[in-house]
Each structure stands twice: as structure tokens, then as C-alpha cells.
Amino acid sequence: EKGRNDFQIFNADMKSVSINRLKLENELRRAIALEEFVLFYQPQVDIETGRIVGVEALIRWNHPEKGLISPNYFISFAEESGLIVPIGEWVLRAACKQNKAWQNQGFSPMPISVNLSMRQFFQHNLKGKISHVLEQTGLDPQYLELEITESMTMDVDHAIQSLLELKELGVHVSIDDFGTGYSSLYYLKKFPIDKLKIDRSFVRDIMVDPNDAAIVTTIIAMTRHLNLKVIAEGVETEEQLHFLHQNRCNEVQGYWFSPPVNAVQLENMLSHGVHA
């Protein structure tokens, strides 16, 4: 509509975009078949005791030529193409297996958090699939935590139904990136969830932006009234940690303690503690 030249440029762009997408899709399919993924683990620290009380499992793609690829490069494409379903199943199984292995090695049992994608959350028989993985790996359901985002709760009836099923299984559920998406405080109290994860974008500026500080302290106070646990994401400085401690946040996760690390590095921290 803008004229011939624009149309041609548009067409050329679209073609290269679709070739890249096809290439990425083929490479991802191969990665799934050959299990080219690895999990990294980021400790979640109890702010009172300084102890590791959980870990979040975060996927990386161990590409044969490109090396470790961040999830930011492939998760949203995987979600769009549906490939997130087999990838997500791999993550779930690998995380449960690893957590069970840590327990067998004698580390104190702690929950492992796994990010659930929208497609997984809307998958048929999610409860059955998770229960199957728990049985196969022998992990007690109380040591699995599933992270969902606010956007997955927009269909309130579906969310309540699915969350009740997960609750029946005995796993924990947290709301990730809390504050960045759709959230109805009215429904929040009706959802059978255990924990809110305050998004990193609010934590980042708590020392400089009074609005962010107010948002964070308000979320913490709210979780106390709703009987939910709360963890702050993206804690990078001692000042942020101190602020969160003063405002009675339960747990923290962030570079101040540790970035996501491989299993062996995490075992070292479990043995010797996290030293900021």
C-alpha cells in the first residue's frame, strides 16, 4: 500500500526472517532429539539465615558450534512453534532427577523451581505428566516448585482448575516476574499458590527510586496478609539485600549471592555456603 519499493523491501525482509526461523526450528528439533540442553541452577537464599533454601533451574542450549546459548535466544521461539513442550518436559525431568540425586548425595532436601511455559500450563493432562515424571525420578512432590507467570492466570477458571490439580499432586507453585503482568488482586487470594517472586525490574532501583521501593514493600506486606511466601529476584547489591531484610522479605535470588551455575558449582555452594 505504501508503494512498490516498500513492498519489495518488506517481502525481502520477510523471506530472510522465515529462512532464519526455519533454520532455528530445524536446529532446535535436532537439539531436542540429541538432548543438547543443560540446566544451570541459581540459589535462593533465606534472608535471615543466609542458607540456600531452594534453587531455580534455568535452561541453556549447549550448541555444538556456538557453545552455551541463553534461553533469551530460543525460549520465545520455542513457545511460538510449540517446541517448548518437549523442551519443557526435558527440563522438568532433568530438574527432578538432579534434585533427587542431590538428596541421595546427602544434601538437605530443598525445592527445585522449574519455569512452566504457557503451552505447558495449558497442556492436556499436565497433572498426569508431572506426576509421571515425579514417579520416574522418585522425587517427593514437595521438592518441586513450578513457576507460572501472571499472563497464564488470565483465564481465571482454567488457572484455578489447573492450580488445584497441581496442589493435589503436592507440588508448590509460585508466580514469577510478579508485578510486570496482568494481576488481579481479587483473584490472587483465590489462586492456590505458595509464593510470589518480585520481578527484578522493581528490585533494580529500590535504592534510587522511591516508587519502586514503595511497590516492593507493598508487595511484601501484601504477601504477609495473604499468607504467601515472597522472594525478591535480581538482588545485586548489599544495599538491596539490606533494604529487603529490613522490609521482611523471606528470600532473595540474584547475582549478589550467585549467578546461575552448573551442578558441580552448586554442590560446592551447598557444601560450603554462599559467600557474597
- Picked from ligand C2E, Ca ion, none, the partner binding residue 70 (CB below 5 to 8 A depending on kind) is ligand C2E
* Binds Ca ion by CB under 5 A, chosen from 27, 145, 150, 176: 176
The C-alpha atoms of residue 16 and residue 9 are separated, in whole angstroms, by 11
What is the biggest distance separating any 2 CA atoms in the chain, rounded to whole angstroms?
69
Residue 179 makes contact with ligand C2E by CB under 6 A: no
**Exposure of 2 by Cβ count < 10 A (0-12 exposed, 13-18 middle, 19+ buried)?**
exposed
Q: Where in the chain does DSSP place strands (E)?
A: 37-46, 52-63, 67-69, 112-115, 144-149, 172-178, 195-198, 229-232, 251-252
Residue 115 makes contact with ligand C2E by CB under 6 A: yes
User: Which grid coordinates are listed for 226?
Assistant: 495473604
For the segment 185-224, give every residue that binds ligand C2E (CB under 6 A): 200
Residue 177 makes contact with Ca ion by CB under 5 A: yes
Residue 117 makes contact with ligand C2E by CB under 6 A: yes
Residue 27 or residue 233: which is nearer to Ca ion going by CB? 233
Q: Which candidate, 239, 137, 222, places its Cα nearest to that of 186?
A: 222
CB of 244 to ligand C2E, least distance (A): 12
The C-alpha atoms of residue 70 and residue 60 are separated, in whole angstroms, by 5
CB of 233 to Ca ion, least distance (A): 5
DSSP 170: T
> Which of 26-34, 159-167, 223-231, 234-242 is the region at the interface with ligand C2E (rule: CB under 6 A)?
234-242
- SS3 percent helix, strand, coil of the chain, rounded to 5, is 50, 20, 30
The C-alpha atoms of residue 133 and residue 96 are separated, in whole angstroms, by 8
- Picked from Ca ion, ligand C2E, none, the partner binding residue 145 (CB below 5 to 8 A depending on kind) is none
The C-alpha atoms of residue 86 and residue 66 are separated, in whole angstroms, by 22
CB of 153 to ligand C2E, least distance (A): 16
For the segment 138-167, give every residue that binds ligand C2E (CB under 6 A): none
3-state SS, 253-267, equals CCCCCCCCECHHHHH
Residue 254 makes contact with ligand C2E by CB under 6 A: yes
> Which of 31-39, 118-126, 139-147, 156-164 is the region at the interface with Ca ion (rule: CB under 5 A)?
139-147
Question: In residues, how long is the chain?
Answer: 276
CB of 114 to Ca ion, least distance (A): 9
CB of 235 to ligand C2E, least distance (A): 6
Residue 70 makes contact with ligand C2E by CB under 6 A: yes
CB of 78 to ligand C2E, least distance (A): 8
> Which residues of this chain interact with ligand C2E, rule CB under 6 A?
42, 58-59, 70-72, 75, 84, 88, 91, 115, 117, 176-177, 200, 234-236, 253-255, 259-260
> Which residues of this chain interact with Ca ion, rule CB under 5 A?
115, 147, 176-177, 233
